[in-house]
Amino acid sequence: MLHRSLPTVLLVILLVSCQAGAASTGPTASPNRSAFPLLPTSSTTFPETPGPTPLLSRTRTAIPIPPTPTSRQKTSEVSHTSEVFAATPTKPPITTLLFTGIIVPARCVQAALDANGNPNYPYEEVQDIISQADIAVGTFNATMSDKIEHTGCWRTYQLVGSPDNADALAWAGFDVMSVATNHIKDCGVMKSWCDFAMFDTLENMRRGGIQPAGAGADLDEALSPVVVTLNGVRFGFVSLGDSKLSPTVFAAEEQPGIALLNEENMRKAIADAREVADVVIALPHWGSEDNLLPNWWQREQAQYTVNAGADLVVGNHTHVIQAFQTLVDPSRSQEVPVFYGLGNFVFDQGQRDHRQSIILLVRFRGRNFLDYQLIPIHTDPDGRAHLAGPEEAAEILQRIEQANDWLD
């Protein structure tokens, strides 16, 4: 299994290697794995040879992610492959993708931003990590609108933030946001499920240069992929939300909203993405809140997502870090990593496991999945995210290992 050798050593940032292989006879398969050393600041490339995993520094400085020497500017246009590959004729370049957990700049987080006048505040201690990834992806589980009164720290389920948060997300380095969430139409305490709140949120993101995936004026638009081209490879992102979310948020033929997660829609979304992308990444919003393990429905959804042709699955919604595994698409004989949930990245929930998350780094060499890295994160009550301390980092990794064992 993908998770079998997950280390529980104190003070570790985990990096494992996962390469595609032949399908096994069971539901999952075991890719090759190896630990990579943490890179010094001066490095410009990931090492190709495994080495010992160093200890995590006690300081909360961001760990730099080296740029790929052949990286090109991110664009929605298809790059000229011959020009990109000329620098490395024997090997395609490496592209690093970054994924975070749930982002909710509302309630106490928004109150803190209003108090200190700094919308960048939640991301300042992790901005170096996010911005140095080639493509950074988050899950935005709120709305941004200047037409709605903010609630302060009052524990409402209406999660509304300022449009300034879009600029903060862009400053942090995000490129793509999954928005197929249950709070995308939140619009205040006295009313809910407003289309204008969703449209304001999408507009504010695009104004900041962030591409939202999973919502639109109708179902076709909500199912449409976001495509980012880098290093001659087109990465397509699709985002769909579970049917157990608020029913009023779902898009229809003439109804704005999010893409409903079912097998038919997932197959269509991935097929459409495959026509315009080389690598297809599914971002489902799914699962039962506060559950470390994916429920049976999540696991079924994961399998049909893999069978539909996804190359990577990164989910969210449960507000806690969930297990991960490798599933096999029998039609392609391809192993596909599935990360069920990364936890709360920026939110004000107070329970300890609600304030822990994982930054997931995934590297592709050309179109092929190469390896991934887990960075444990702690979030303060006011939403400020930073590297978890040594003991908490070990606790987070151990809990993931236990969840992965239980998943078997």
* Per-residue 3-state assignment (H helix, E strand, C coil) for 62-122: CCCCCCCCCCCCCECCCCCHHHHHCCCCCCCCEEEEEEEEEECCCCHHHHHHHHHCCCCHH
Res. 291 pLDDT band, cuts 50 70 90: confident
- The whole-number average pLDDT for the span 216-242 is 98
Structure tokens belonging to residue 121: 């505040």
pLDDT at 61 over 50: no
pLDDT at 201 over 80: yes
Share of the chain above pLDDT 70, in %: 75
- Label residue 253 exposed, middle or buried (CB < 10 Å: 0-12, 13-18, 19+): exposed
What gap in Å lies between CA 31 and CA 15, rounded to an integer? 14
pLDDT at 100 over 90: yes
Length of the chain as a residue count? 408
Res. 369 pLDDT band, cuts 50 70 90: very high
Per-domain residue ranges for the chain? 14-31+92-407
pLDDT at 35: 29
Give whole-number Cα distances, 229 to 78, 135, 206, 356, in Å: 6, 9, 17, 31
- The whole-number average pLDDT for the span 211-216 is 98
> Which H or E run contains 303?
helix 296-307
- Helix/strand/coil for 195: helix
Res. 75 pLDDT band, cuts 50 70 90: very low
Res. 200 pLDDT band, cuts 50 70 90: very high
Least confident interval from 102-111, 230-239, 292-301, 377-386? 102-111
Least confident interval from 20-24, 159-163, 371-375? 20-24
- Helix/strand/coil for 207: helix
Res. 187 pLDDT band, cuts 50 70 90: confident
pLDDT at 407: 86
pLDDT at 271 over 50: yes
Which of 81, 20, 362 minimizes the C-alpha distance to 233?
Answer: 81
- Provide DSSP, 350-406: -SGGGGEEEEEEEEEETTEEEEEEEEEEEE-TTS-EEEPPHHHHHHHHHHHHHHHHH
pLDDT at 49 over 80: no
Res. 213 pLDDT band, cuts 50 70 90: very high
Res. 65 pLDDT band, cuts 50 70 90: very low
The terminus-to-terminus CA distance of the chain in angstroms comes to 9
pLDDT at 89: 62
- Mean pLDDT value across the chain: 80
Res. 277 pLDDT band, cuts 50 70 90: very high
pLDDT at 262: 97
pLDDT at 202 over 70: yes
Query: What's the distance, CA 145 to chain centroid?
Result: 23
Q: What is the DSSP letter of 25?
A: S
pLDDT at 66 over 80: no
- Label residue 37 exposed, middle or buried (CB < 10 Å: 0-12, 13-18, 19+): middle
pLDDT at 2: 54
What gap in Å lies between CA 354 and CA 320, rounded to an integer? 6
What gap in Å lies between CA 179 and CA 188, rounded to an integer? 18
pLDDT at 13: 44
- The whole-number average pLDDT for the span 2-30 is 37
pLDDT at 85 over 60: no
pLDDT at 192: 61
- The whole-number average pLDDT for the span 382-392 is 94
- Contact present, 355 and 377 (Cβ < 8 Å): no
- The whole-number average pLDDT for the span 40-64 is 29
What gap in Å lies between CA 308 and CA 4, rounded to an integer? 26
Of residues 357 and 190, the one with the higher pLDDT is 357
What gap in Å lies between CA 108 and CA 153, rounded to an integer? 4
- Contact present, 404 and 320 (Cβ < 8 Å): no
Q: What is the DSSP letter of 275?
A: H
Structure tokens belonging to residue 376: 């444990």
pLDDT at 56 over 60: no
CATH 3.40.50.720 fits 14-31+92-407, yes or no: no
What gap in Å lies between CA 93 and CA 282, rounded to an integer? 23
φ/ψ of residue 298, rounded to 5:
-60, -45
Res. 347 pLDDT band, cuts 50 70 90: confident
Question: Between β-strands 385-387 and 368-379, what pairing exists: parallel, antiparallel or unpaired?
Answer: antiparallel
pLDDT at 36 over 90: no
